Structure 1
């Protein structure tokens, strides 16, 4: 009798869990595509550090952008930005079509372009900030993974523990009563 009640309880838990997963799966289809691009490995820290080193060596901004656009495969758009700046296009219009992950580079180089001040330390600080944000994001995703893993493991391990540990104990005690 108790075994039947236990099986019904386990079935109810699994039913609730499966409906939760279906709802969560339906919601995940509605997520914006920007999260997928956030997960991709974009070399923004590398570009910021290399840009800072090239600025320290005395290379002009347009040449830095052209060099980075040719050498880093994900940043080919920087060649277009360099060409637009060579044709004396406004700074904002030149950077208009660049991807969002290059915004820290654009902000730091804008300061150097407008004021003529050395921006290498700004670029290095922006790279450090990007690394810090990435490590915090990874830590947050790791914590979310741990909490999301508890329910499926509990749904699988608890019935197995009851079926293999508690039920044989109850069956062994029944003839003794």
Structure 2
């Protein structure tokens, strides 16, 4: 399966403004000409970090694939236990699931019908992080001859546990991200009221007789 071209991410005005604020604060902390250099470097670094962030469309697509994977595995297990071949189980799952996961499973089903080896067809999904567990499990089952239904049942359980762990981690990150803007609001006041008076006092003690 061909990989999609990497989407070039454009920064919004709000993101550029945020990077500029970070650069200005770095300039205020260091001051003078070195502060200007540090401010430019910090601005460019922050902009580079934002530019490398995953586009929101791809992130939403990956999250949906991860959310649909346990249900897709359960559906394939039910079809296999009912006597369907693997291609029939995949086709039923594609119709029921749809979305980005359905598209990828439809591609695998097409490859299997064209005569591709099962391990190669499933392994083609391994490049996507959210589908790598499915690709590894199905490839191992094809190579070892293990019952596919049992393999998919374990995959479904593991995927649900991983989803619960990811939800807990996301909830913890929300707390940290909620505090960060508050810290940025107080940083300029801290610089003006805490650092600048101290530096000015030290400078007066050094420069004045």
- The answer on whether the counterparts of 1:61 and 1:113 sit within 8 Å (CA) in structure 2 is no
Aligned residues: 146
Q: TM-score, normalised by structure 1?
A: 0.62
3-state DSSP class of the match of 1:58?
coil
Which stretches in structure 1 are left out of the alignment for 5+ residues? 1-14, 160-177
Q: d(CA) in 2 for partners of 1:137 and 1:121?
A: 24
Higher relative contact order, chain-length normalized (CA < 8 Å, sep 6+): 1
1:78 aligns with one of 81, 84, 105: 105
Higher mean C-alpha deviation, range 23-32 or range 77-86? 23-32
Q: Superposed, which structure 2 residues align to 1:9-48 within 5 Å?
A: 16=25, 24=46, 27-33=49-55, 36-37=59-60, 40-42=63-65, 43-48=68-73
How far off its partner does 1:138 sit?
1.6
- The answer on whether the counterparts of 1:61 and 1:109 sit within 8 Å (CA) in structure 2 is no
How far off its partner does 1:59 sit?
1.2
2:88 aligns with one of 63, 68, 78: 63
How far off its partner does 1:125 sit?
1.6
Which of the two has higher C-alpha Rg? 1
Q: Superposed, which structure 2 residues align to 1:113-152 within 5 Å?
A: 113-152=142-181
1:87 aligns with one of 105, 111, 114: 114
Which stretches in structure 2 are left out of the alignment for 5+ residues? 1-23, 27-38, 190-209
Q: What is the CA deviation profile of residues 36-79 of structure 1, one whole-angstrom value per residue up to 9, with x for unaligned ones? A: 25763221111111111222222111111122223321212322
Q: d(CA) in 2 for partners of 1:116 and 1:45?
A: 22
Q: What is the CA deviation profile of residues 110-134 of structure 1, one whole-angstrom value per residue up to 9, with x for unaligned ones? A: 3443444323232122111111111
Q: TM-score, normalised by structure 2?
A: 0.54
Q: d(CA) in 1 for partners of 2:174 and 2:62?
A: 15
- The answer to whether residue 76 in structure 2 is matched with residue 51 in structure 1 is yes
How far off its partner does 1:154 sit?
5.6
- The answer on whether the counterparts of 2:123 and 2:136 sit within 8 Å (CA) in structure 1 is no
Q: d(CA) in 1 for partners of 2:176 and 2:119?
A: 43
The alignment yields a C-alpha RMSD, in angstroms, of 3.5
